Every structure is written in structure tokens, then in C-alpha cells.
Amino acid sequence: MSSSGILYFVVFCLALLAATRPLGAYMANVYEGKRTFLYPVLGWLERLVYRLAAVRQDTEQRWTQYAASILAFSLVSFLFVYLLQRLQAWLPLNPMRFGTAHAPANATQVTPPLAFNTAISFMTNTNWQNYGGEQTLGYFVQMAALTVQNFVSAAAGIAVAIAMIRGFARKQVNTIGNFWVDLTRGTVYIMLPLSLIFALFLCWQGVPQTLRPDVHATTLEGRAQIIAVGPVASQEAIKMDGTNGGGFFNANSAHPFENPTPLSNFAELFSILVLSAALCYTFGRMVGDTRQGWALLAAMAILMAVFFFVGYAAEQRGNPNLARLGIATRHSALQPGGNMEGKEVRFGIAASALWAGATTDASNGSVNSMLDSYTPLGGLVPLFNMQTDEVVFGGVGSGLYGILIYAILGVFIAGLMVGRTPEYLGKKIEKKEVKMAMIAVLVTAVIILVFPALSLELPFHAHGYWNPPGPITANFNNAGPHGFSELLYLFTSQSENNGSAFAGINGNTPWLNFAGGLCMLIGRFLFIIPALAIAGSLAAKKRVPATSGTLPTHGGLFVGLLIGTIVIVAALTFFPADSLGPIVEHFLMRQGRLF
């Protein structure tokens, strides 16, 4: 590790911290319906959306109606994205003529299984991609299908978090807000202005924004080079702000057109986590005690720092199998060194390792380096981050409702230890809340573990329908334990709605498209529905006054309890599976074993 790498991390944390309070307070005002400084500019747009969509701004919903609204909205979103992809041959703004006989020779066909997987992926804020953007989708689909979902799936995630906060903040009522209003406010007052400014910033740094077709160049040595361009900046901005992560190009934020400079990299990295960090403050404000929000943020920051340094150290130490060949891997004033396979020179090791951590702390899933080529421990960090249910900052909204579920489990476990009915923020945590929290945590764990096992056991035949390459191991890009890591990562990423990948694996087969799609659905909605059920149940409860027996939830003890709960639950669940992949690979790599 180098002092410049550590400085990078420190500056990054300070920048996040500085933005948390103003942005968090702004969001609290937006969702409480107060007039913010953007109201004079955008108020008309909010009202126009309500009028066009026939939404009544003043009605409130019970949790069941709120959940039904999200489900209905997601279903319609899925159908839109699916149909637009399948119909792209007939849509405008498709200069490369994807989906027709005139498409480039290396283009990927959008088959029904692939369109199914992609539609669910963008609707659930996962953005797993079994295709390479520049070889598959025309500009119209990238804009009207994918960019739209980047906005609304993020706004829907925040809406759920806000509904859950209301569950804690309100007392003895049976409503938790109005989904359509929360969705609109998030999109109009938060996502749109942030993305507009950020898109311009990114274009200034070098991200293209054009509707023209690919550029034909003749290189200095006289070779032909076709350079894919497109409306990248507008999609890149919301891809980061909304913790979406689906790249315009196959290489995602490693591509110089998605992430051209060290400064654009810092800004994109910042935008992965900033809304989720700020939501902690929003939470504190809305429940009337900002210390509660800072406590959550402290737990998140500690977990982020620990995992960052584990990953950074492993990547800087590099790959002994390459060092043996006479390659310099030490960081110096002239070179980044370390494990540079799959990494860009302009980012080096620290900014790549920090991205790998941040993108899986959040449910972002974008990458600025190829995780498949990470050292075993460097790759274990993003894998384990996802397995903690992405509550370290987490996706916009999903991180907050995720960590609140862990907070409920934490106070429940503490309550068991002292034999007292647990409370959190003055609400008694009883059977229903704990049951719902357990469903949310267990269901994702089950699918993460069952689907890789199932994929390995099912007898696929070469050239069959479900998995044409043959047995699932034929889809792997790497042999040995690393191949299993690719498969485990695939299902972990989709189940946790992350979207990053050990990208060597071929996921574009009917089986992996369907199974992955199913995991994304379960991972999203069997977390959201229990979260809303808890919100509804809590909103109906009285507030009990704190006594001397109440566990304070704003101090160091609670932060430790919360971290312990998160780490222990994930470690107990996933240690055996992780041992078969990255952990055993680590020891084999040090012995010099190759596969």
C-alpha cells in the first residue's frame, strides 16, 4: 500500500462526509413535501407528472397498497423494457442497425431469454448484463428503456426506504405515504437535477454524448479502427447516481469513454455512495434524532474501511505467479505496480480496489477494473460485501431499508441476551417484525446458495436448449476454484441486485438468463415486501418512552452490535461456499498452482 492510496481513501471519505448533511437534509425536505430551493424551478414538473398520470397527491396508502403499487409499476416497467428490446429493429436511432440483417458481424442477438434477463435486471435496479452494450443495443433502447429504468428503479428504492422511515417516525396510523408521490419526488427533485449536472461534468471530462453512429478511424500505423460512441454521458450520470451500474459499453466504467480521467473516476466513485450516505441523515432527521442516522453511518464507514484495506493490500501485493516472471509489482513514483491485469493505468491499484469495494458496498455493480482478474482476496471483498446484503451504504434506498432490517435483528439479539422485549426508536420489536426481517435475510441467502449448486448438478447437454455450451463448467472462463467463484459471484450479484460480475463467465444461455432473472426478482421483492410490512406494522404502534432499561441506539455499543450482526450472519451463511472459491484459491495461488 502507498501513502497516495491511503490519501485517496481519506479524501474520498471526507468528501462523502461533507455532502451527507446538506444532501440528507434536502432529501428529508423533499419527501416531507416541503418547499425546497428547487421548488420554484421544478414544482411545475412535479404537478405536471401528477396531472398526466392521474395521481392524487394528497392521498395516503396502507403498506399493502404501497407494495401493490410498486409491484404493478415494476410489472409495467418490465413489459416496456422487454418489448422495446425485442422491437429494436423497428425503432429509430439505431444507426448500427442492431436486430436486423445489417447489424455488425459481432453483434449479439437479443433473444427472448436475454431480453427477459435484461428487462428484470434494469427494472430491479440490478443492471446485470449478459450482453455487451456497444454490440447489442441501439441508442433508442439505451435511452427510452435502460436510462428510464435507471431513474425510476432508483427512485422506487428510495421510496421504500422513506416508507420504512415513516414506519418508525409515525405513531398509531395505518398509512406510510403514497408510492406514486414518493416516486415522482425522487425522480424530479433528486435524480433529474443531479444527473443533468453530472452528465455535463462527465462530458467536459471526455464522455461522449452524440446520436451519430460509430466513428471510422485510420490509426497512425494505417490500421482501421471502428470507435463506438453514443449518448453515453446522459446514461453514465444516472447509472452512478442511481446505484444502477449497467454500462453503456461492455467494459463499463473501465472504458475510457465512460470514465476518461482520474477526476471523472473520483466523481463517479463519489456518486456511487453519496445518496446512500445522505439517506442516513435523512433517516435521522425524519425520526427526529439525527444521532440515530450518524450511528448507522458510522457502522457503514467502519465496514467499508476494513474491507477496502483488505482488498487494496491484496491487489497491491499482486500475483506471485506473474512476479516470478520478472515483473515489477511494487508501487513507485513511476508506476502503479501490483496486480494490473484487468486494471487501467490512469486509475492504478488504490482507485480500482476502492471502486470494487464501493460498488458492492452499494448495489451499484459498475466496475472500473475487471473483478474476474483480481487476486483471490481482492475478489473475495466484493463477493462478501454483496453477501452482507449490501447494507454498507447500499443501493439508494435499498441500503437504508437493508440496514434497518439488520438493526431490528441486532436489537432482537440483544433483547434475547438480556431477556427483554427489544425496542428500536421507541417502537417495540415484536414477533411480526422479527419474522419479516428473517424472511428478508434468509430468502436471499437460500437462493445464493441453491442456484449455483443446482446449476452444477443439472445435466446440461452440449448444443441443448437450456445451456448450449454443455455442463455449466463449460461456461467458465477459468478452470479450478476460480471457475466456481465466477458462478457463485454470478448468482450472488443477481440475487443481491448488484450487477457486477466475474465477467469471464458466459451468462447468456437460456438457463442462466432465466435462473438469474428469477434470483433478481426474488432478491428485490422478497426484501421490499417484508420491509414494507415492517413499516406498516411499526406505523400502527405506539411510541414507548425510553427507560433506563432501553438500549441506546446512537452510541458505540449499538454500532458494534450492528456490525457484529451483519458480519456474523453473512459469515455463518457463506463461509463454506466462499471456501470453495476465493479462499481455497488464495492458498493454491501462493503455492504456485495453476489451472
Partner 1 sequence: MWRQIIPAFRITLVFTLLTGLIYPPLVTGLCQLFFPYQANGSLIRVHGRVVGSALIGQRFTQPGYFHPRPSAAGNGYDAAASGGSNLGPTSRNLVLRVKAAVARFRNHNPDDHGAIPADLLTASGSGLDPDISLASAYAEAPRVAKARGIALARLRQFIHAHAALPWGGFLGEPRVNVLLLNLALDAAYPVKVSR
The nearest distance, CB 183 to partner 1, in angstroms, is: 7
Looking at beta carbons only, is 294 or 476 nearer to partner 1?
Answer: 476
Give the end-to-end CA distance of the chain in Å, rounded to a whole number: 28
Coil/strand/helix, residue 501:
coil
Site for partner 1 in 445-474 (CB under 8 A): none
Shortest distance (Å) from residue 552 CB to partner 1:
38
Site for partner 1 in 314-343 (CB under 8 A): 318-319, 321-322, 325-329, 332-343
Which positions ≥6 away from 427 have C-beta within 8 Å? 167, 168, 538, 541, 543, 544
Distance CA 244, CA 238 (A): 8
**HSE-up of 344 (CA within 13 Å, CB side)?**
21
Q: Please, which of residues 347-366 interact with partner 1 by CB under 8 A?
A: 347-348
Q: How far is the CB of 171 from partner 1 (least distance, A)?
A: 27
Residue from the set 18, 41, 83, 217 that interacts with partner 1 by CB under 8 A: 217
Indicate the burial class of 170 (C-beta count within 10 angstroms; 0-12, 13-18, 19 or more): buried
Cell numbers of 250, please? 461492455
Q: Which is nearer to partner 1, 215 or 416 (CB)?
A: 215
Q: Which stretch binds partner 1 (CB under 8 A): 19-27, 412-420, 427-435, 476-484?
A: 476-484
Helix/strand/coil (H/E/C) assignment for every residue in 41-72: HHHHHHHHHHHHHCCCCCCCCCHHHHHHHHHH
Which CB, 244 or 573, lies closer to partner 1? 244
The rounded distance, in Å, linking the Cα atoms of 233 and 139 is 12
Residue 144 near partner 1 by CB under 8 A: yes
* Minimum distance from residue 587 beta carbon to partner 1 (Å): 10
Tell me: does residue 14 bind partner 1 (CB under 8 A): no
Letters for 482-521 (x = contact with partner 1 by CB under 8 A, - = none) are x--x----------------xxx-----------------
Nearest Cα residue to 265 out of 244, 240, 238: 240
Stretch that binds partner 1, among 165-173, 282-290, 456-464, 478-486 (CB under 8 A): 478-486
Instruction: Tell which residue, 460, 458, 456, 448, has the closest CA to residue 491.
Output: 448
Instruction: Report in angstroms how near the CB of residue 83 gets to partner 1 at its nearest.
Output: 12
Residue 256 engages partner 1 in binding (rule: CB under 8 A):
yes
Which one, 81 or 297, has the nearer CB to partner 1? 81
222 lies in the binding site for partner 1 (CB under 8 A) = yes
Instruction: Give the phi and the psi of residue 245 in degrees, each rounded to 5.
Output: 100, 0
- At its nearest, how many Å lie between partner 1 and the CB of residue 523? 19
Residue ranges of alpha helices (H) inside 428-552 are: 431-457, 481-495, 510-539
**How far apart are the C-alpha atoms of 473 and 461, rounded to whole Å?**
12
268 binds partner 1 (CB under 8 A): no
Cell of 441: 435475510
C-alpha cell at 567: 458480519
Q: Is 226 a residue that touches partner 1 (CB under 8 A)? A: yes
> Considering only residues 182-201, where is the footprint of partner 1 by CB under 8 A?
183-184, 187, 191-192, 195-196, 199-200
Query: Does 206 contact partner 1 by CB under 8 A?
Result: yes
Minimum Å gap between C-beta 416 and partner 1 is 36
Per rule CB under 8 A, is residue 269 in the interface with partner 1? no
| CB 430, min distance to partner 1, A | 27
Q: Compare residues 407 and 488 and give the one whose CB is closer to partner 1.
A: 488
Binding region for partner 1 (CB under 8 A) out of 178-186, 401-409, 443-451, 453-461: 178-186
The CA-atom distances, in angstroms, between 72 and each of 67, 69, 76, 78, 384 are 9, 5, 6, 10, 32
Q: Which of 85, 127, 234, 509 binds partner 1 (CB under 8 A)?
A: 234
- What does the H/E/C string look like for 180-232? HHHHHHHHHHHHHHHHHHHHHHHHHHCCCECCCCCEEEECCCCCEEEECCCEH
Decide: is 178 part of the binding site for partner 1 (CB under 8 A): no
Give the phi and the psi of residue 428 in degrees, each rounded to 5.
-70, 130
Beta bridge partners of 215: 227
**Binding residue for partner 1 (CB under 8 A) from 20, 29, 36, 77?**
77
Angle of helix 510-539 relative to helix 63-86, nearest 10 degrees, comes to 160
Q: Does 589 contact partner 1 by CB under 8 A? A: yes
According to DSSP, the β-strands at 423-424 and 224-227 are unpaired
| 60 contributes a contact to partner 1 by CB under 8 A | no
What CA–CA distances, in Å, run from 278 to 18, 168, 533? 10, 18, 24
CA distance 171 to 212: 55
Q: Which is nearer to partner 1, 52 or 101 (CB)?
A: 52
Among 229, 407, 447, 520, binds partner 1 (CB under 8 A): 229
Should residue 104 be labelled a site residue for partner 1 when binding is judged by CB under 8 A? yes
Instruction: Please list every residue from 111 through 140 that binds partner 1, using CB under 8 A.
Output: 132, 134-135
Query: Is 1 within 8 Å of 312 (Cβ atoms)?
Result: yes
Q: Which residues, in sequence order, are CB contacts of 514 under 8 Å at separation 6+?
A: 113, 116, 117
Pick the binder of partner 1 from 99, 167, 208, 399 (CB under 8 A): 208
Determine if 177 is a binding residue for partner 1 (CB under 8 A). no
Backbone angles phi, psi at 375, to 5 degrees: -65, 160
Closer CB to partner 1, 262 or 560, in the complex: 262
345 binds partner 1 (CB under 8 A): yes
Residues in contact with partner 1, counted by CB under 8 A, come to a total of 138
